Amino acid sequence: MDKPAKKHRRRRQTGRRPAPVLAALDLGTNNCRLLIASPGREGSIRIVDSFSRIVKLGEGVAHSGVLSEAAIERTVAALKICAAHLERHGVRHIRAVATEACRQASNAHVLVARAAAEAGIALTVISAAEEARLAALGCAPLIGEGFDGALVFDIGGGSTEVIWLRHENGLPLIVQFASVPLGVMSLAEGALGAVQRPDFAAMQAVMLSRFAAVRQQMDRVGSFDLARYHLLGTSGTVTTLAGVALKLPRYVRARVDGSWHDSATIMQVAQELVGLDRKGRAAQGCIGNERADLIVPGCAIFTAIHETWPCSRLRVADRGLREGILRELMAEARR
């Protein structure tokens, strides 16, 4: 007797292509951050993998004007790890950008060449305007309902971006932006030119002066109504302050990202942290030893921002430039 023929199930041809795997790499003055994602529902981002490492790329750049050999070595080592993550997930669409440290360094081309040769990553040094635009794009979904927009600020290692973002016809519009070439790392290294590292009051005074000039430029463009806007902060400083305010024993992104706070409460947290010694700051679960020195200049910058734009409400974003890149890559993938 002949054996019955085996029934083969035919795969249904849906005609759908698999969702592309995209990646954004942000090489800042202090951190190297990678985010791998694919498009989710209704324009959302589905995170596939992430990697972050403190590389201190901008160490000493404010004084020397060049990236040190040690900083380049640390960064290339981190980029090689990023390359392994990209390979593991089969990423074919990636945008890798470098910001303030490479903008300032006369030998940034050395790092760019080594990133390509040793890690296979094409690194692009972007302008301050492009950095602000991408950060705003990444944070825009967190503009609160009932507000006309937000004052987005990104406190980086080597620069601080301030973006006036307004909703128009359901879309975010950058009304004005400014990049101040001072961040937590450059301030911590004494970039103000003092013989000794400046204290909190000195750092805050300098940032108040810089932001006052930015506010004057904004006022020439239009009226920034404090009641109709809120602060929207992205960076290690503001996420750390939010984590401390929430009394988290350790940092939890899901609790911090998108969280709302009274600005006065975060100002109080900043003042309390500044009043602690280094050991006391390091003992905080959301700070730790690596951020214990950088949180003080971060607090100087944040408090200066709030005094310049004293909005009563603050929303915190554990997202920004990388998410902005991913949103653009998603749009390109759809096209």
Domains, the chain, with CATH or none: 22-126 (3.30.420.40), 143-320 (3.30.420.150)
Q: Is-contact 66 110, C-beta < 8 A?
A: no
Mean pLDDT value across residues 67-79: 98
* Block residue for tokens 């101040």: 180
Per the CB < 8 A criterion, the answer to whether 326 and 159 are in contact is: no
DSSP letters for 191-239:
TT--SS---HHHHHHHHHHHHHHHHHHHHHH----TTTEEEEEESHHHH
Q: What are phi and psi of 59, to 5 degrees?
A: -60, 115
Query: pLDDT tens, 197-212?
Result: 568 999 999 999 999 9
pTM: 0.86
Q: Regarding beta strands 149-155 and 229-234, do their DSSP bridges make them parallel or antiparallel, or are they unpaired? A: parallel
What would the pLDDT profile of 239-280 be if each residue is shown by its tens digit? 999 999 999 999 999 999 999 999 999 999 999 999 999 999
Judged on CB neighbours under 10 Å (0-12, 13-18, 19+), 141 is middle
318 with 234: CB under 8 angstroms? yes
Strands of the 22-27 sheet, one edge to the other: 45-54, 31-39, 22-27, 93-98, 123-125
pLDDT at 188: 86
